[in-house]
Structure 1
Amino acid sequence: MNIKRTLLEEFPPAPIDPNEIICVKCIGDVVLKRLMNGRSKEICSVCGSGENFCVDAYFLAKISQDVIRKNFKICTKVPSENNFHLREIVSKVIQIKDERFSQIVASYLETSEGNSKGDQFFCKSYSYSALTLPFKSKRKEQDYLQEQWDAIALSLTHRQRYFNDEAARYFELLFDEAVKTEHKGLFKVALATVTILKAGFIFYRARKVENQADKGEMQKFPDRALGAPPKERAAHNRMNSSGVPLFYAASDRNTSIAEVRPSIGDEVAICQFQSERALKFFDFCGLNMHRSHPLLSYFIDDYAERKDRRNFLAYLHETIAHPVTSEPSRYIVTQAMAEYLRYKHKENFDGIIFKSVQHSGGINYVIFDESRSHKDVTKLNWQPSFAVKAKGKTEIVTISKIQYSGNWI
């Protein structure tokens, strides 16, 4: 919400009633906290401190009335867990824990003095509910949020693929929310979706053996034969379009085999690769953990959009890891997503982690090449390089058994 400093000057710099003063420490909303900087320091009626910037209840009623109108509606149905009194709405929007002070702000809203529009939206006898109520089932919520992802996929596939501001905005909001998520472990709190793997981490990479010449190359020169393909041979894949090489790897031997989808009798070459430096990944697996988010401010213009993106994070990992049909265009949205994380996101990720759908419990890694600017790739005979190196001998295995599981009808 773009509230100019001149707007704040319309309100009295010092509240009259000492029982209606609250300090910046007793308000949780981050936008309001910023707006309070530079105002007078008074004795807070909530915590008793006189060391912090303060505002009064009248100020909060005036500044929050439009936000409440925008995000809540008068509820005419019988009381339920989704209905709130105005005092509770005030507490939720401004993020005030003190019930007494929330009631003072609500009382101002219920009078013409605090309600500048003079309508009947704020009334002591009313209850309110959010404009977007919780869905009746997780399935209905997932369908609603999935439609937004599918709309971006459709736009990228059939309308505007290369300079799509709509898609860029969608990814920006989605991953800004994703990188802020936290996982509370037994002893510490850590970012849920940012994983840094130390130098020396072991990845597994596999390829089907097509002929004896291939086998010899894989055994003698694993870096070249089992590493990422040269740019001329980089095929269309989940996270890259044709001609854009990425290094795909797995967490273990069995997952790497499963990912190349061999048939019985096929030979598969497997080699370990070791990271040469620490690598930072966007980790989709973190979205499946018990996680927490910083509270969103109702005072930001894109509150509803950010709330939807945040809710979609619960389903995002399943969406990007889901097996795709043979139709190549189905990968376009995940390819655009990977490019956003690589080139546009401020974290400067070195790759992506997501679960394997070919092998239960397995993890897949996608590592970006080391070039960071267009100047790197315009050099004569440029080929991508990756911060991994083959370690040990190439192992050749012959597939003798394949297992299937599913929901049989």
Structure 2
Amino acid sequence: MVRQVSGGRIVDGRIRLQRGGSGQAERRIFVRHNPETRYGRKHRVLHRGHIAQRPKVLPHSSKGTAGLSLLSRDLQRELPRLTRQREPPPRRHAGAFFAEDQTYVPIRLDGWRHGALWRRFREAILHRQRFFNDNAKEFLAEIFNGIQNQSDIDNKPAFYRLAPADDTTFYRARVVPNEDAFREIAKDTAGLMGPPPPSLRKAGRMNAAGIAVFYGATEKDTAVAEMRPAVDSLISLAAFRVHRPINVLDLTRFTRAGKQLDIFAKNQMVRATQWAFMQSFASEISQPILPGDEHLEYVPAQVVAEYLTSTSVRWRGNDVTPDAIIFRSAQREGGKNIAVMGDAALIHHPT
């Protein structure tokens, strides 16, 4: 079950609790077991898709060069039809131009350059030199160069500022052993629902052990799912809001198509391949990690998070540093998590 006990705010770059009062509402939600997980459904759909798709077999001969000639003629006859089926017509939109009497070949943007750099970075940071690694820093500088200028196909930016007027709420959850624990949390919600003291800070997806990070979710169900609670577990849930603007890199933007490519704009091909890489990167760092593997599997994402939140970028004419990273939940499809780092992760009671 889940009980909401209090709320909170991020004030002056810090997370601050909301005023609660003695009449705070409490609610309970039973955590029920669902044997049919989303992974099972995905597997079945994928399996059916594989069965339904069968390769097309073209007629051919096995008599030497005559066979090659026959296969070639078959392909020539099939090629126009296959091309019409596989390549959708060009999108008609403002600024697009296509000559009706010309043939166009689509360019595949798979982020190979950034992907190669990422693989070299992982190898260096995991198995060669973890601390004071100048090569790893150079890899990251090239991979994420200009990331603050990226936008999706609807022109929603990947880098933006969250302000109090946005009224965005983040939720934190904690498994509690009994009813007495609820009363203790109500007395000191800031201390017990915020990041733990330095000596108790464990390594997380975006932080090494001992480093303060405020982890939250944009939905209550996601916050509970991230706890991976057992059936009939007791969960304490607290809400927090931004009181002062924080700069955010939103990796969930990369789940959609990137901004329409303008081949005449400066560095458009680099930005397009970066977007393609970020789609796979955002998926990779959101994958579930088996218990016991965190100490190694979290390392690349931890280094990336520390690099991004300690490196200033030029944004709207000013040098700014990201305060937080939003990423997809590994436990709930469609859910989003946020990691607020540095001084912005400190929690204080309201004055």
> Could you state the TM-score of these two structures normalised by the residue count of structure 2?
0.59
Task: Tell me the distance in 1 between the aligned counterparts of 2:203 and 2:308.
Answer: 18
Mapping 1:327-366, distance limit 5 Å: 327=293, 328-346=295-313, 347-366=320-339
Are 2:157 and 1:196 aligned? no
Structure 1 174/296 Cα, relative in aligned 2: closer, same or farther at 3 Å?
farther
In 1: Cα distance, 2:336 partner to 2:242 partner: 16
Match of 2:249 in 1: 282
Cα-to-partner distance string for 1:347-379 (whole Å, 9 max, x where unaligned): 3111000111211221101111317xxxxxxxx
Partner of 2:172: 205
Deviation, 1:208, is 0.7
Change (3 A) 1:288 1:241: same
Q: Choose from 385, 389, 395 the match for 2:346.
A: 385
Alignment partner, residue 66 of structure 2: none
How far apart, CA to CA, are the structure 1 residues paired with 2:340 and 2:147? 19
Note if contact 1:351-1:365 (Cα within 8 Å) is conserved in structure 2: yes
Q: Matches of 1:309 and 1:249 in 2, distance apart?
A: 27
Secondary structure at the aligned position of 2:174 is classed as strand
Match of 2:233 in 1: 266
Once the two structures are TM-superposed, the CA of residue 290 in structure 1 deviates from its matched residue by: 2.8
State the 1:345 CA deviation. 3.4
How many positions carry a matched residue from both structures? 241
Larger radius of gyration: 1
Larger relative contact order (Cα-Cα within 8 Å, sequence gap ≥ 6): 2
| Alpha carbons of structure 1 residues 160 and 193: separation in structure 2 relative to 1, 3 Å | same
CA contact (8 A) 1:284 1:354 kept: yes
Q: Distance in 2 between matches of 1:299 and 1:361?
A: 34
Residue 250 of structure 1 aligns with which residue?
Answer: 217
* 2:126 aligned residue: 157
Contact 1:248–1:365 at 8 Å: present in 2 too?
yes
Q: Does 1:369 align with 2:342?
A: yes
Which of these residues, 147, 167, 176, is aligned with residue 145 of structure 2? 176
Within a 5 Å distance, the mapping from 1:9-88 to structure 2 comes to none
Structure 1 unaligned spans of 5+? 1-79, 81-96, 100-128, 136-140, 372-383, 391-409
Which whole-Å CA distance do the structure 1 matches of 2:266 and 2:152 have between them? 26
Give secondary structure in 1 for the equivalent of 2:145.
helix
**Corresponding residue number in structure 1 for 2:102:** none
Tell me how far apart the structure 1 counterparts of residues 193 and 240 of structure 2 sit (CA, whole Å). Answer: 9
Q: Which residue of structure 1 lines up, in the alignment, with residue 283 of structure 2?
A: 318
Unmatched 5+ stretches in structure 2: 1-78, 80-96, 100-104, 314-319
Please tell me the residue identity of whatever aligns with 2:286.
A
How far the C-alpha of 1:143 sits from its partner, in A, is: 8.6
Sort the Cα spacing of 1:143 and 1:297 in 2 relative to 1 into closer, same or farther, 3 A.
closer
**By how many angstroms is 1:242 displaced?**
0.3
SS of alignment partner, residue 309 of structure 2? helix
Deviation at 1:298, TM superposition (A): 11
Shift of 1:331: 0.7
String of CA shifts for 1:76-120, please: whole Å, max 9, x gaps: xxxx9xxxxxxxxxxxxxxxx9x9xxxxxxxxxxxxxxxxxxxxx
1:215 aligned residue: 182
**309 and 183 in structure 1: CA distance in 2 versus 1, 3 angstrom threshold:** closer
Q: Decide whether aligned partners of structure 1 residues 296 and 243 sit closer, same or farther in structure 2, where only a CA change above 3 A counts.
A: farther
1:210–1:149 distance in 2 versus 1, CA, 3 Å? farther
How far, CA to CA, are the matches of 2:349 and 2:170 in structure 1? 10
Kindly provide the CA deviation profile for residues 294-352 of structure 1, in whole angstroms up to 9, marking residues without a partner as x.
7689999xx99877544312212101111123311111110000011110132311100
